[in-house]
Chains A and B, each alone.
Chain A
Amino acid sequence: MPPALIRDLSDTSGYWAAVWTMCAMPDVHVIADAPVGCFNLVATAVPDYTDAVPHIENMTPATITEQEVGGKGTSDKVRWTYDNLRASGALDGKQLIVISTAESEMIGADLSSVVATLGEGTRFYWSNSLSEDEWAGRDRVLRWLWEQFGAPHATGMQPVPGTVNIIGPTYGCFNSPSDLEEIKRLIVGAGGRINLVYPMEATLADTPRLAAAQVNVVMYREFGAGLAGMLGQPMLYAPFGMRETTEFVRELGRLLGTSEQAESFIAAEKRTTLRAVWDLWRGPQGDWFGTTDVGIVAGRSYTEGLARYLGDELGMKIAFASARPRRPNDPDNDTIRQMLHRRAPAFVFGSINEKIYLSEAGAKFARFFMAAFPGPTVRRAVGTPFMGYRGAVYVVQEIVNGLYDTLFNFLPVDQAYSMMRGGPPKIESAPGNLPWSLEAKAVLDEALEKLPYIPRISASRQLQMQVESLARERSLEEITPDLVREALASSGI
């Protein structure tokens, strides 16, 4: 068996996980034992477009070149980099951590002993980048940070009643500013106080204080539970949808001894924030949910959360759901691509990979929502959460607006305008004046069956007109199956 094929990789490596987790804390400086590319992609080219930062400033490469690969090894380069960083003052007040990369691992550069001879306290982190993905990687980095910089200084520290840690956001976590804002709001609403948001809003020096929280909220099911397990206090996952969020607030209130406040927060939210979902449900918009299908490809939290909320709570059809990292029966990208080429659901939540597959398929009836990396997107505004009560409102609002847009795109435009732009041929007369053979009608029905429900009415009218116009051009008396197929091919449906 040859090694498994990867189509459009969705998950990056343990090296990226290490940089994106550690460099979130300003009192860390990382030396990456890396060729120029591994430095540029991780520190500049990609975080420009995932986190909207011009570059990650607290990271320096040891810049592996031919000499290092050719047998010299990277120790001297790392030492040179360290000496010059130290001389420049860039390491003042910083904890230095040296990280391995796939290439340094490939040439067997274990720098544990070298690093011990650099400045006192300098650590080496083996990122295991040839084997570990970003999810396992982030989980292990967080545990390692606790072991190295937390636990030894936390002896005797007791949890303070009413306090909560949020464990999760690093660089490269899709939509985390909005989700974090909402989770903080829910915690405060339930009667809690935030102790630490780790690592994104913490310093490395804060690490021992992780022990001071009464409850740990883990933002992602993909990673972070390992650290929460080591801390030993009760743990909750960040919630999606109305029901799960209610359970979350209720459970948090119980754990913190603030149940009364939690219940009154839930009641108030139903009257205020969630009122939008209630109104849309009672209104004409809600009627569409049951006939709208959705495909989901995202991080495990997002995939499971969206499937529960949109599928179980709102009753939408979940055409497919594939988590990152993939669960045992989740379709891989090859399968997802084939599904999208065959028939795309009305809505696809995904990464740029799914967006590309929709482009390849020419699926102009499907609407795409960015819900995962990879893919360039700015998500720094804090008003676009997917998690929590506000997430429940935001997601359903996006879907309804998507439906409006789909409808708009199928309303007829007077053809005089498209003629001015050299558009499609003018349709001479109203449809329905030429007889269709049963087989021809069946071909049309089959094509329409592949379309999402919403645009079917408009699309069927449009296709019917195109076919009949073609028939008239050729002076045919009856619509034949071949004619329908020809019109379908040229319409891209």
Chain B
Amino acid sequence: MEPIALSAEQTQSHPCKLHPQSMCPAFGSLRILSRIEGSHPVMATDTGCLYGLTFVTHFYGARKSILAPTLGSAELYSGEIVEGTRAAIEAAAREPGCRLVPVVSLCVAETAGMPEELLPRKVGDAEVVLVRVPAYAIHSHPEAKDVALEALLRRLGDREGPREARTVVVVGEVFPADQLAIDAILRRMGVEATIALPGRSIDDLQRAGRATALAPLHPFYKGVTRLYREWGASVAGGAPVGISGTYAWLKSIGALLELDPALVDQVAEEERDKAQAVLAAKSLKGARVLVTGYEGTELAYARLLVEAGAEVPYVSTSIGVDPLSLPDELWLKARGTQEVVYRKALEEDMAALDRYAPDFVLGTTPFAAAAKERGIPAMYFTNQLASRPFFLSSGMAATIGFVAETLERAGRYRDMVAFFAE
């Protein structure tokens, strides 16, 4: 077995993006597609890809059996992709309670060609929805979530029924308590209902077509945003993050839905007072933090930590530059953040580790490991931050408390390095 490495062998300050940091992009789509009740995904791909993606989906997505046609060189070169995929769709549609068969088309199938018109649109009660997510073109797993959700909404979103006034589709995978908190505060402002996507329910996807407004909480839902603009729905930018972010977001929802301005002001100000009380109770002043995950949500987390008093000189993410993330980037750069890196590579994060000597790192697994090898408290962004509240004042308290507690344990990280160096 590999010995425990004490120092990173990676050359530092290297300008080249040699080791890109993203999960397999397609994983983002499989995660949300496998979690929908009554959804039985079919994957069109080679066995190596199928093995790896099924592995991570069974870890992070759902306890769900996954079907695929055999696509080896014999099948790919003889054009049996469609025939095989159709057979897999038929088998998936026979699963008890099946209402949706997402067909996830990956690198080799996309290279060989997967003609949508040759796949069924419906088998029995099940809608068949093609989701094209070749890793070579999608580049990051957050963006694949957007691709999948857009495909689902285009097919399933109900555009025939009456529009539901004052109903907001809140898009973004968030901690369940966050979803409840966001729903509650919007209702207090006069919103009639929220629909949280991606979620577990096909009915929610259908109903989402009738909603009046879209609120993408994360900056990579560009396809979904485009779709709602096509549908003529209002889109609220930003997210209820931190003091200023939450205040602006609530006001913007109020304006978009033409809610009672006095009531919106009252709720937004109450929430701002609560958030200020959270900051007064616990500060991260003096802590230097690098936020370097690959979930596409890093800028928002950095923003919260900066409001809490931390210094965040460097933020990196797997997603590409997009107007949706520009407000957070400008906000951060006006408050001391020196670098915001998109489509990042391990080399860039390692250079930042040298340059900024942080007190805490939230990163990918290779990068968090490198920081721990230097005795710096570090955690895997994906696992640790997704599993606690983040939005509104309640989320601020949880996130700031988590970072503060980790900083208090810093001694253990140094002791561990010392132990293994002896």
- A residues whose Cβ falls under 8 Å from a Cβ of B: 2-9, 11-16, 24, 26, 35-42, 44-46, 48-49, 51, 53-55, 57, 60-61, 63-66, 68-69, 81, 84-85, 88-90, 101-103, 105-107, 129-131, 133, 176-177, 200, 337, 352-353, 355-357, 359-360, 374-376, 380
Contacts and interface: CB of A to CB of B under 8 A. Distances in A.
Contacts of B71: 3
A176 B369 CA distance: 23
B139 interface: yes
A90 B350 CA distance: 14
A88 B52 contact: no
A85 B17 CA distance: 10
Given A12-B51, A45-B52, A46-B52, A2 B136 contact: no
B1 A380 contact: yes
B379 interface: no
Contact of B51 (A16, A65, A69): A16
A16 B1 CA distance: 17
A36 B65 contact: no
Given A4-B70, A45-B52, A11 B366 contact: no
B23 A40 contact: yes
B129 interface: no
10 contacts: A2-B80, A6-B47, A6-B68, A7-B66, A41-B53, A61-B19, A65-B136, A65-B139, A66-B137, A177-B1
Contact of A8 (B27, B54, B56): B54
A37 B11 contact: no
B48 A356 contact: no
Given A130-B46, A357-B65, A374-B58, A37 B52 contact: yes
Given A38-B49, A90-B11, A66 B56 contact: no
B73 A130 contact: yes
B14 A88 contact: yes
Given A102-B49, A103-B107, 16 more contacts: A3-B71, A3-B75, A5-B84, A7-B65, A41-B24, A41-B53, A42-B52, A44-B364, A61-B19, A68-B136, A69-B107, A89-B11, A90-B10, A102-B108, A356-B65, A376-B55
B330 interface: no
A314 to B, nearest CB: 31
Given A16-B51, A37-B49, A84-B16, A106 B65 contact: no
B51 A61 contact: no
Contact of B65 (A51, A54, A337): A337
Contacts of B63: 355-356, 359-360
A40 B22 contact: yes
Contacts of A355: 63
A139 B264 CA distance: 67
Contacts of B84: 2-3, 5
A102 B365 contact: no
B20 A36 contact: yes
A103 B70 CA distance: 15
A202 B337 CA distance: 46
Given A102-B108, A356-B63, A39 B91 contact: no
Q: Which of A24, A36, A359 has the most chain B CB atoms closer than 10 A to its own CB?
A: A36
B11 A88 contact: yes
A39 B87 CA distance: 30
A44 B108 contact: no
The 3 closest A-B pairs by CB, nearest first: A37-B24, A41-B52, A13-B48
B321 interface: no
B50 A6 contact: yes
B76 A69 contact: no
A66 B135 CA distance: 9
Contacts of A356: 58, 63-65
Contacts of A107: 111
Contacts of B67: 5-7
A26 B4 CA distance: 12
B109 to A, nearest CB: 9
A51 B2 CA distance: 9
A12 B53 CA distance: 11
A53 B48 CA distance: 20
Nearest to A127: B48
Contact of A36 (B55, B56, B58, B135): B135
B105 to A, nearest CB: 13
B47 A9 contact: yes
Contacts of B70: 3-6
Given A5-B68, A12-B51, A84-B18, A103 B111 contact: yes
Contact of A46 (B56, B73, B86): B56
B13 to A, nearest CB: 10
Interface in B54-103: 54-56, 58-59, 63-76, 80, 83-84, 86-88, 91
Contact of A54 (B52, B139, B365): B365
A24 B2 CA distance: 7
A16 B366 contact: no
Contacts of A375: 55, 58
B242 interface: no
Contacts of A12: 47-48, 51-52
Nearest to A200: B1
A46 to B, nearest CB: 5
A55 B48 contact: no
Contact of A35 (B69, B80, B87, B134): B134
A448 B107 CA distance: 48
